[in-house]
Amino acid sequence: MKTSNSAPVRTTGLLIPALVLLPCAAQAVEVSVSGQVNRLLMSVDNGVESGVVHADNSVSGTRWRFAGNGDLGNGMTAGLLYENQLQSNPSNQIEASTLDSDGIGGNVGSGDYFSLRQANAWFKGNFGKVTIGQGSGASDGSAEIDLSGTNVIQYSAAGNDLLGSMEFGNSGVKVGDVRSNFDGLSRSDNLRYDAALDRLRLAASIGNGDKIEAAALYEIDNFKIGVGLWDEQDSGAGRSGNAISASWLGDSGFNVTAATGGDDRDGDPRNTYLKLGYKSGDHAYAIDWSETTDLGPGDASSYSVAWVGLMMQGVELYATYRVESLDKVANAEDISALAGGARIKF
């Protein structure tokens, strides 16, 4: 009887301190939840097929994230970032064959498109910041510095994000085959180091597939400029590249953005991007032009106009008209797209 009675007493004695300690452990790292929904309607004409589609805007897709940080003491903090993207009918997957001129078409399948964007842990102190796990390599974003306020629908890679799977007429060539802003190596499992020296930020990373990246960003007042270098030897198909972008926003609201990048594949493909914009209160307007040469069977170019309005904190409406063109390829017709939508953040 004593044995049977004493076990619950000891168990209760252990449970009470455990329950007291649990809230403390749970509160050690403060975690927040955030995300966004970004949907658009887009009318597309590739010179052969046309139609209107419902799509998730792949320029900045629908996503959610957990972010957390905690104080380690002695000037050090630790944190985490976990982010998933979950899209229904992403705009960069819509093909010309699915367009329906008699109604709303463009459905790329009944399933959802799920991707893991970030899953990393980081440590920060006087030494800088060290990040380990799935996340952006050091050169990610080096071709995408943009102070115009229209980059929810218009930036140096928007043509791929909106129309990447769209064919130029009956040419057999899609936008994604011939267009790139050469913006580093995106996200992968890597080890990254960031250092901040006043207005200068430096970063370096090494990732799976022998991905090596380095970048620098300089910011002063309303001007930013960044450069990225990268090299990838995955599966023996080695290539290296670089990108640089800069953006200036004047006190009047007038702004200028430019970027260029390329890699060492056959033909030494290169992209050039220019944008002029104007910001007035909660509204931003811009026109841009870009050209990618020697990436595929022809040289591709585009121009677009865009408007973005901030209706309230976290709620944006936007509209754009875009034309994608392809030279030196038979049966290639221009692709035109008129789109409007909304991004709501939480």
Write out pLDDT tens, residues 202-213: 999 999 888 999
What global pTM score does this model have?
A: 0.89
Name the pLDDT band for 177 (thresholds 50, 70, 90).
very high
Q: How far apart are CA 130 and CA 134, in angstroms?
A: 13
DSSP notation for 208-240: TTTEEEEEEEEEETTEEEEEEEEEE-GGG--EE
pLDDT band at 9 (very low <50, low <70, confident <90, very high): very low
Q: Which of 4-8, 114-118, 287-291, 302-306 has the least mean pLDDT?
A: 4-8
* Tokens 């970027």 belong to residue: 259
- The yes-or-no verdict on residue 67 having pLDDT over 80 is yes
User: What residue spans define the domains of the chain?
Assistant: 29-345
User: Of all residues in the chain, what percent carry a pLDDT higher than 70?
Assistant: 90
> Strands, E, within the chain: which ranges?
30-45, 50-56, 63-73, 76-87, 104-105, 113-125, 128-136, 187-197, 200-207, 211-220, 223-232, 239-249, 254-263, 270-280, 283-293, 300-312, 315-326, 335-345
**Alpha-carbon distance 158 to 175, whole Å?**
11
How far is it, in rounded angstroms, from Cα 277 to Cα 283?
A: 11
Residue 250: partners with Cβ closer than 8 Å, 6 or more residues away: 222
- For residue range 299-336, list pLDDT tens digits in order: 999 999 999 999 999 999 999 999 999 999 999 999 99
Indicate whether 181 pLDDT > 70. yes
CATH 1.10.3720.10 for the 29-345 domain, yes or no: no
Helical ranges in the chain per DSSP H: 2-26, 158-163, 175-178
For CA atoms 88, 93, 96, 98, give the dihedral sign.
negative
Helix (H, G, I), strand (E, B) or coil at 48: coil
Q: Does residue 160 contact residue 179 with C-beta atoms inside 8 Å?
A: yes
Query: Quick one: pLDDT band at residue 235, thresholds 50, 70, 90?
Result: low
Residue-level pLDDT at 27:
52
The answer to whether 108 and 93 are in contact (CB under 8 A) is: yes
| Lowest mean pLDDT across 7-16, 199-208, 292-301 | 7-16
Give CA–CA dist 235/131, Å, rounded. Answer: 25
Question: Pick from 342, 339, 341, 343: which is nearest to 42 by CA?
Answer: 339
pLDDT in tens, 90-100: 999 999 988 87
pLDDT at residue 343 in the model:
98
